[in-house]
Structure 1
Amino acid sequence: MSPDLPLIWAGLLAVAVLLYVLLDGFDLGIGILFPFARSKEDRDVMMNTVAPVWDGNETWLVLGGGGLLAAFPLAYSILMPALYLPVLLMLGGLILRGVAFEFRFRARRRGRAFWTRMFAGGSMLTTFAQGLILGGFIQGVTVIDDRFAGGQFDWLTPYTLLVACGLTAGYALLGATWLMLKTKDDLHGDARRWARWSAAATAVLLVLVSVATLLVHHRVGLRWGVDVAEMQIRWDMLAPRLAIPGLGLVGLGLVFAGLRRGSHVRPFVGALVVFLSGYLGLAVGFMPYVVPYAIDFRQGAAPDNALGLMLVGAVVIIPMILAYTAWVYWVFRGKVDAESGYH
């Protein structure tokens, strides 16, 4: 029996995107929180907490984007024209924050202030653009004869703006809880306060996005067993899926309980669980589509011989990436202060 290569590659890309969101989310969150830091020294420590890992975290974005092109070329050819502008904004933000990260440590006083603003601006631009991409993906694109047939600004709607705000709050939560894990003294206390506010904002926006998705996008609601047009709920479909928002509530509970008890680890774990819950909820809404709601992963997949050849490389490369990532996080474990880190 031959392996189901399109399904395997759909799973690999789904995992790659999830790992990117979880790992790069907290260092983008640190950039979002940059303007709220008290001093230059605090901002130095904030950057030092992610200096060894931030560029490695983005490996998963390269794998996700490159894998989509190679494994699902039809989907890539439809999604890229539909989302060109927010993708370009995201890439511009990633470039800006990457340059600012390196230049800030080497700049003098006035230059340092400039690159500090660029790092924060690049992080916020990247995050907001990713939110627009996500919102545009959820709401679907217009496809006729396997080609994108919509407008260049179809992705810009009140719904996508709401999703972008929700993702910004979520990344800020990841960044704040990461700082709680990695810092001490006054900066740790500031991170705890930022985590409290961002957790509250994330909870509110998560509810708003979930309700808006069910109300605005009828097809997603039907997959959850909620027929808004007919004002009906199919409990046989909805009941088993309630475990997913339940997981999100568990994550938020871990965050708030950890904040209340002064835990350094639980809030970060809880934030990761919240994102995992949201990701699983998205999967329920659009699986098995790679272009919602027009092209599924089998229709969009490359020929099996190409998928098989690429899988051989993936089997070698992905474990190496995972091993390297785990090793780096292990080597640079523990707290970071002004006397240690990246210079």
Structure 2
Amino acid sequence: MRSNRKKPKNDQTKPEMKFIKSLGKGTYGSVDLFSYTKGDGSTFYNAVKISDSKYYNSINREFKVLSKLRGCQGIVQSFGNSLLQETDSDGKKVYKMAIEYAAGGNLTDFIRINRKLSDTFVKDFTRMLLQGLASVHDHGYVHCDLKPENLLLFPRHDQETRFCSYELKISDFGLTIKAGEESVCWETKSPFVGTPLYMSPESVHDGTAVEKTLDLWSLGCVVLEMCVGKHPWSGFSVDDIKSRLLCGKAPEIPETVPCDARKFVEKCFARKAEERGSASELLLHPFLVGERKVDGAGGGGGGGGERRRVGLRIRKPPERFDDIAKKPLKLKVISSKSSQFKRVSNKPQKVKIGRSRHPKSNFAPVQ
């Protein structure tokens, strides 16, 4: 008897996945760029974080945290309902997690290219960072590894106004834990959590519960780096940094740092953690608010302050170039006089510069 059951139709909506290039490698795995082509011909791009099975706990922790933070402002978004388990070319089990592709790269590279950033960029990036951090803390988490390398930039292009802006988001939640818990990342030989250059005094004490204020010290280090264009504790070894933190010392703040920024960083560097305040409170600091009137201060989800993207206006729409693949994709690049860019037309593009210095970037934003 012939069955009347219908054969399942092929899923025409499932996008075709194609590897584009490697974006980088780290301790816990690598990140690759993939393109996805839908049945209607439209193409979009995602970064895919890939981790070996021995680092499963880290990537699984990150996926769970990002799942809780979906839709939150200032947080890199993840996709899917679970990690994807596959086997690599060597037959080893790997786990994959799809996240937003940051075409502007990370803040580390942005600072390296532009050196110290303008006051406008420092303030706006700090505001975006605090809003994301407020969301993390409101959900009861401590990031534990806040640093420029884990802060990603997303260029946004307005074709009508020819304005390119940047949005900053927090990424890499592999070390994130619940506030009040003791980090599993502390070790006997290196009793600290996070990256040495950005760690807080309480990070060098073994057996100490992790609190949200730990992230605020790291925030101060990031803001200081944006202001001066170099790492905090530059020139010191890990042991030197640990010794100085134990003695109650913070990174030196150069005299060139503006007064309002200095006071903000000094508050982040308060020896007593409770004196640093909270991410939501720091959003109302004069460094970020100035003389602007703030309504509804202290609201949930990082209330206070004003969120806006920072960027520049260009006279001519971005041209296309094939930085990613042999076959040109639909990419757009911000023109610049820097040697980091290729000239893509016979007539040089021009940039109209406002009061702040034009930031450079060697990353190609993908639409």
Does the alignment reach a TM-score above 0.5? no
Higher relative contact order (CA 8 A, sep 6+): 1
Structure number with the higher helix fraction is 1
Structure number with the higher strand fraction is 2
TM-score under structure 2 normalisation? 0.27
TM-score under structure 1 normalisation? 0.29
